[in-house]
């Protein structure tokens, strides 16, 4: 092991088996250099991890060390650097697979979850084309779509888990249907049972809403899909960073998540698929490194995951993602989830006491992520965000790539505060104090 790798590994030693407290959070935060700064003359309080998280030193070091010590193309050269790069690349796959309870050959590298869902969407289209051209047999059957078939999503989906399925329905003639959201911000499961039926071929849903904070009943949705022979796609972007995840136990067919929401750099994400499904699914991107043989007339493709990894890969980013999941594991995902649940309750309980502030999603005491989206009467969310930024508090404003959900809620936009393992209860209290001053500042 080289010096850089030793440094990164040493920094991720397990901290404690007890619950997280503010003192531990302050020790954790000291490893995040971006958080050690002032914004507008105030100490930065970063409450936008639902969009992009910050990076600890071990993750930064892992990517730096790769470029400094073993930068080379993977699965190509036979020289020392190429071998070391390939080993680091595949070891990263092993680490990430273990983190989410999957097998190594079920983890496909992508740039982000949006790319992963689009890759799936177009792979389904290719399956239909392959079957029409008799380029495949019975293994393509689970992916075939046409008029009369149905794709089911939910009303709370991020656009990335909605638009690709809209387009797939358009390309194949299938019908897109959605499970509605209740006034309390949960899925109407009675409606789900009536929607998921004999014509359903695919059910795509988020594990946890990036707006509502709602944690969906994966087991029930998967069971409904299984009963009718439909495939399932899980958007785990908001769950993989914050909850212990075991994809085999969840029994989903496919899942996606992005590294930049879980302490890793941008430009790296994961497509998970059950191995037998990935090996049957036609690739979307084609080119080098994903083939067995090529003639001037046709090509034959490698088994998964390589069949979906055409061209030069995101090598340093994958290595950094592996460092990120090791860092999270060293602290403990259950501990992180418990701490963020505490912060989430503090957010909700505080916001509902502020005059003129309305939250969306489950109320205090209900299971939810450590985030809160809210509306301030008489003040546009962008103005709220700018006011908080003046206080050194970073939040997200807008529709959060969930326009249909906001329309259902009767809103055009909201302000969202989202926590992570580096936030303290003092961060929440300072944020709440700032929100309490918004309406008077704008004379609303």
Task: Give the residue numbers annotated as catalytic, written as ranges.
Answer: 401
Give all strands (DSSP E) within 253-387, no chain letters: 254-258, 269-273, 291-294, 299-301, 357-360, 371-376
DSSP character for 209? -
Tokens of 59: 């993750």
Strand partners, 208: 215
The helix-helix angle for 113-132 and 163-172 (nearest 10°) equals 10
Find out whether 59 and 330 touch, Cβ atoms under 8 Å.
no
Q: What angle do CA 347, 351, 353 make, to 5 degrees?
A: 130
Tokens of 116: 């992963």
Find out whether 155 and 408 touch, Cβ atoms under 8 Å.
yes
Task: Report how far apart, in Å, the C-alpha atoms of 411 and of each of 30, 155, 161 are.
Answer: 38, 14, 21
Alpha-carbon distance 379 to 383, whole Å? 7
Strand partners, 397: 415
3-state secondary structure of 340: helix
- The string of DSSP letters for 104-139 reads GGGEEEESSHHHHHHHHHHHHHHHHHHHHTT-S-GG
Strand partners, 269: 110, 258
Tokens of 298: 């046709």
Alpha-carbon distance 383 to 380, whole Å? 5
Tokens of 138: 């019975």
Work out whether strand 107-110 and strand 45-46 pair parallel, antiparallel, or are unpaired: unpaired
Strand partners, 371: 418
Tokens of 73: 């193309």
């Amino acid at each position: 092991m080289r010096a850089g790798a030793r440094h990164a590994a040493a920094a991720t030693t397990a901290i404690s088996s007890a619950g997280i407290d503010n003192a531990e959070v302050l020790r954790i935060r000291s490893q995040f250099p971006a958080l050690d700064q002032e914004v507008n003359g105030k100490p930065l309080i970063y409450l936008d991890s639902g969009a992009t998280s910050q990076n600890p030193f071990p993750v930064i070091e892992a990517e730096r060390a790769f470029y400094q010590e073993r930068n080379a193309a993977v699965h190509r050269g036979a020289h020392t650097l190429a071998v070391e790069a390939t080993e680091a690349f595949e070891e990263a796959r092993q680490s990430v697979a273990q983190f989410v309870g999957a097998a190594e050959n079920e983890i496909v590298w992508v740039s982000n979850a949006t790319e992963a869902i689009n890759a799936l969407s177009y792979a389904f289209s290719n399956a239909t084309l392959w079957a029409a051209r008799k380029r495949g047999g019975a293994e393509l059957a689970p992916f075939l779509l046409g008029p009369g078939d149905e794709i089911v999503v939910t009303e709370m989906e991020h656009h990335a888990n909605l638009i690709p399925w809209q387009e797939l329905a358009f390309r194949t003639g299938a019908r897109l249907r959605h499970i509605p959201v209740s006034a309390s911000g949960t899925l109407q499961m009675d409606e789900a049972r009536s929607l998921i039926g004999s014509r359903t071929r695919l059910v795509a849903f988020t594990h946890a809403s990036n707006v509502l904070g709602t944690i969906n009943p994966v087991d029930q949705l998967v069971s409904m899909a299984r009963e009718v022979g439909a495939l399932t796609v899980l958007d785990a972007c908001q769950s993989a960073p914050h909850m212990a995840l075991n994809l085999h136990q969840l029994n989903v067919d496919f899942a996606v998540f992005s590294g930049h929401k879980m302490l890793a750099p941008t430009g790296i994400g994961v497509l998970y698929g059950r191995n037998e499904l990935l090996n049957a699914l036609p690739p979307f991107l084609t080119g080098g490194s994903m083939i067995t043989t090529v003639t001037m007339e046709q090509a034959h493709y490698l088994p998964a995951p390589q069949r979906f990894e055409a061209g030069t890969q995101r090598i340093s980013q994958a290595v950094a993602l592996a460092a990120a999941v090791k860092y999270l594991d060293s602290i403990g995902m259950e501990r992180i989830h418990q701490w963020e649940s505490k912060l989430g309750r503090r957010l909700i309980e505080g916001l509902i006491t502020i005059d003129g502030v309305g939250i969306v999603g489950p109320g205090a005491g209900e299971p939810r992520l450590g985030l809160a989206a809210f509306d301030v009467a008489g003040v546009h969310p962008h103005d709220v965000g700018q006011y908080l930024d003046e206080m050194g508090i970073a939040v997200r404003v807008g529709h959060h790539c969930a326009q249909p959900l906001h329309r259902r809620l009767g809103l055009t936009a909201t302000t969202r505060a989202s926590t992570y393992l580096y936030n303290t209860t003092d961060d929440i209290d300072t944020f709440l104090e700032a929100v309490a001053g918004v309406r008077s500042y704008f004379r609303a």
